[in-house]
């Protein structure tokens, strides 16, 4: 039975990270150095059309690597047509920063001790780009430290959405720790960015939601972020139990996963699947007796102001 009572609202935040195109067929698939954005520039309009006016949040890259490669922090907002189309269709532009440094010919994740300085340096330039709301940020590759979270807070940023709930990695490819962070939004503790506590910072942490999924190549199900580019049966296998326990969902999708072509066990590389996944999401939420409500990241700020002294 459907109900309109406030407790049954289920808030969905559609987010897109404008990252470089990763070439699935390349031997070095995860190549940080080849930063091309063709699927954003040529294909993002198709994604916008698919959303049919639903609110969405775009985290757009603006950082030192973009500046070095393309001669300006504003490279990705120079396509003013596309930027206008995002804003005219109920989208917003928030800030996505990858903290890399150049070593020889390669771009690699910056060392931990340089994180804060690099972040603050980029922030200075991003503040001059009127199209980007720098007060809402997501750091690339889920990178975070206590020092960086405090710097984010002190610089006046109101929402950070870097967390990937309940995940931790420390391998050759990625290094982040959100192991004790659950799917709820929270104000990070001053002494541990991963969790709430007292005293806490003023910035609100909005984790990317994770749900157990089993790809064909997995031995065991793995907590993965909810990516609307994934194959439908894998994506929704455990979705209903998530909806029953939570009242919000933060999705994350990259343009190349929808626009480019590829053959992969988990990612569908298909705009039709992306579209039908949105419809499936709405149906599944309703089937759980909740009402789906689509929101932008900045909608959280209006609530935030009311609760702050
Ligand atoms: Zn990214």
What is the DSSP-derived secondary structure letter of residue 179? T
* Helix, strand, coil percentages for the chain (3-state, nearest 5): 35, 25, 40
What average pLDDT does the structure give for the chain?
92
What is the DSSP-derived secondary structure letter of residue 74? T
Separation of CA 255 from chain center? 12
The Å distance, Cα 6 to ligand 1 centre, comes to 34
Of residues 25 and 92, which shows the higher confidence score?
92
Cα torsion 288, 292, 298, 301: sign: negative
The Å distance, Cα 162 to ligand 1 centre, comes to 10
Closest listed residue to residue 304, CA positions, set 208, 232, 231, 203: 203
Residue 137: which residues within 8 A CB-CB, separation 6 or more? Answer: 59, 94, 95, 96, 97, 152, 157, 159, 160, 161, 162
Burial class (CB within 10 angstroms; exposed 0-12, middle 13-18, buried 19+) of 102: middle
pLDDT tens sequence across 249-278: 999 999 999 998 888 999 999 999 999 999
User: Which pLDDT does position 22 carry in this prediction?
Assistant: 79
The Å distance, Cα 307 to ligand 1 centre, comes to 31
Tokens standing for residue 25:
């067929």
Tokens standing for residue 240:
């209903």
Please, what is the Cα angle at 266 between 55 and 237, to 5 degrees?
A: 75
The Å distance, Cα 64 to ligand 1 centre, comes to 13
CB-based contact 9:246 (threshold 8 Å): no
The Å distance, Cα 88 to ligand 1 centre, comes to 24
The Å distance, Cα 17 to ligand 1 centre, comes to 6
Tokens standing for residue 85:
């189309």
The Å distance, Cα 96 to ligand 1 centre, comes to 7
Task: Spell out the alpha helix ranges (H) of 61-110.
Answer: 64-70, 80-88
pLDDT tens sequence across 177-198: 999 999 999 999 999 999 999 9
How many beta carbons lie within 10 A of that of residue 272, not counting itself? 10
Model confidence at 241: pLDDT above 90: yes
- Would you place residue 1 in the very low, low, confident or very high pLDDT band (cuts 50, 70, 90)? very low
User: Which region, left, alpha or beta, applies to residue 156 given φ > 0 means left and ψ of -120 to 50 means alpha?
Assistant: left
Cα–Cα distance, 69 to 76 (Å, whole number): 12
Tokens standing for residue 238:
């455990």
CB-based contact 225:252 (threshold 8 Å): yes
Domain 6-307: CATH superfamily, name plus number: Uncharacterised protein PF12979, DUF3863 (3.20.20.510)
The Å distance, Cα 141 to ligand 1 centre, comes to 6
Cα–Cα distance, 279 to 282 (Å, whole number): 5
pLDDT tens sequence across 117-141: 999 999 999 999 999 999 999 999 9
- With tokens 């455990």, the residue in question is 238
């Amino acid at each position: 039975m459907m109900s309109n009572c406030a407790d049954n609202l289920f808030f969905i935040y559609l987010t897109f990270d404008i990252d470089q195109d990763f070439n699935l067929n390349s031997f070095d698939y995860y190549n940080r150095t080849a930063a091309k954005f063709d699927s954003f520039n040529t294909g993002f309009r198709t994604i916008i059309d698919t959303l049919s006016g639903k609110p969405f949040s775009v985290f757009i890259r603006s950082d030192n690597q973009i500046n070095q490669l393309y001669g300006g922090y504003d490279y990705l907002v120079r396509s003013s047509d596309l930027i206008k189309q995002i804003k005219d269709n109920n989208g917003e532009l928030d800030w996505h920063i990858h903290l890399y440094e150049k070593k020889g010919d390669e771009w690699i994740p910056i060392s931990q001790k340089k994180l804060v300085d690099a972040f603050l340096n980029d922030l200075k330039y991003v503040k001059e780009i009127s199209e980007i709301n720098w007060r809402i940020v997501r750091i690339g590759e889920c990178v975070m430290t206590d020092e960086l979270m405090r710097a984010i807070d002190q610089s006046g940023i109101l929402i950070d959405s870097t967390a990937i709930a309940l995940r931790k990695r420390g391998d050759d490819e990625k290094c982040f720790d959100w192991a004790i962070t659950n799917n709820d939004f929270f104000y990070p503790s001053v002494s541990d960015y991963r969790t709430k506590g007292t005293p806490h910072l003023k910035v609100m942490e909005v984790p990317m939601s994770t749900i157990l999924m089993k790809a064909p190549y997995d031995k065991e199900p793995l907590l993965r972020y909810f990516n609307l580019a994934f194959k439908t049966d894998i994506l929704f296998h455990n979705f209903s139990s998530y909806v029953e326990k939570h009242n919000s969902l933060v999705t994350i999708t990259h343009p190349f996963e929808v626009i480019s072509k590829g053959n992969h066990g988990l990612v569908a590389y298909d705009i039709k699947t992306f579209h039908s996944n949105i419809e499936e999401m709405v149906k599944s939420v309703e089937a759980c007796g909740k009402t789906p409500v689509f929101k932008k990241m900045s909608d959280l700020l209006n609530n935030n102001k009311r609760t702050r002294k």
